[in-house]
Chain A
């Protein structure tokens, strides 16, 4: 049961949707899959006057290749990413990540865009989108604007989205890479990340390395990326960047894991992830979806 009352709108157009958002400053929430929002409403963690359900807005379900980019509408669910032949062909890293999100019953509703809008530290999509050339496309009362994913996560549960804007879609530039998402959970199946590592290695040894659940937001480590850049991966180089991990991350201790445990396993995941990402770039290595930890 949800204890407080709110108004519910299900607009049929984007213009109508943004109009509702602008009319209720400070007290409006966008509803897509609802797997976060409905739980928060029940917990009284949020108490908006208005909930705007965007599921009837056309085009937001699109999952297509347009030009040199993959276009992912804000209503595309994790299940749709897993089942999409386009994702499998172009960016299987997205499916590898999506398969680790909660359980099928959640993935059938939860959207990837919702995941980065909720922006909890352990959001699975964060580390993966950060290592790809991702742009977040927003529409508000004054029109549309793109936001680079590197400017998206601005604080704990805070993003670059203003309250009167709706994320319409993401675009991810298609570029050859070897990708990895490694996620530490207490048990296989359904769990939030205790720590997570996203890696993409591009031809000529260009690296992006991102971490999840070990800081207030998912983030990239420029220091580790710089150390790896342009160099063939050797055991010595791996050891050098693994030694940087404890300075780069700031995990907490809570009921799910201690900071020391998260740090140690992040080091292990980075080591295994770098190796697998390089193998995948070479068309070899463990198939996408293979769990590395």
Chain B
């Protein structure tokens, strides 16, 4: 089936099978490797992308469902080096192995787009369902809170 999809601003036309999952198509056909293959059942958040501006588990979307939609991955929010949120992840040591980081950065991006100065509770709620096995979450929450303070000034 023909799939037309915008990924990080670039328009792609390709042939996909109905059973192809968006996560696999993004990684293998488009070549964006930031969405990770984790649990593949929507529980871990490592495959998170933004679809039409909202965070979505790309492991639970058929590629063909994304026909006509716009997808943004971490590659798409950092064309020129790191953005402010990513810099704050680095300065707060908000990741270690990094496997969860793309998904968490995108979930935080969605939050900050809708709520520029979130509370700690807002951050915790927004990042729920994004599992990190290294940090214990505190540095991640601090990084997102710092980004919120930066944006609201």
Contacts and interface: CB of A to CB of B under 8 A. Distances in A.
Question: Which of the listed residues A5, A38, A55 has the most CB atoms from chain B within 10 Å of its own CB?
Answer: A38
Given A8-B64, A41-B19, A106-B129, 17 more contacts: A4-B19, A5-B18, A5-B19, A35-B57, A38-B59, A38-B60, A42-B21, A53-B64, A102-B42, A103-B45, A104-B125, A105-B107, A106-B42, A109-B61, A189-B124, A189-B129, A190-B43
Nearest to B64: A8
Interface residues of A, number: 32
B129 A105 contact: yes
- Dominant secondary structure at the B interface: mixed
A103 B18 contact: no
A190 B62 contact: no
Contacts, number: 92
Query: Chain A's interface: helix, strand, loop or mixed, by majority?
Result: loop
Interface of A: 1-8, 10, 31, 34-35, 38-39, 41-43, 51, 53, 55, 79, 99, 102-106, 108-109, 188-190
Contacts of A35: 42, 57, 60
B130 to A, nearest CB: 7
Contacts of A1: 21, 24
Contacts of B43: 190
B1 interface: yes
B54 A38 contact: no
Contact of B18 (A3, A7, A43, A106): A7
Given A1-B24, A38-B61, A109 B56 contact: yes
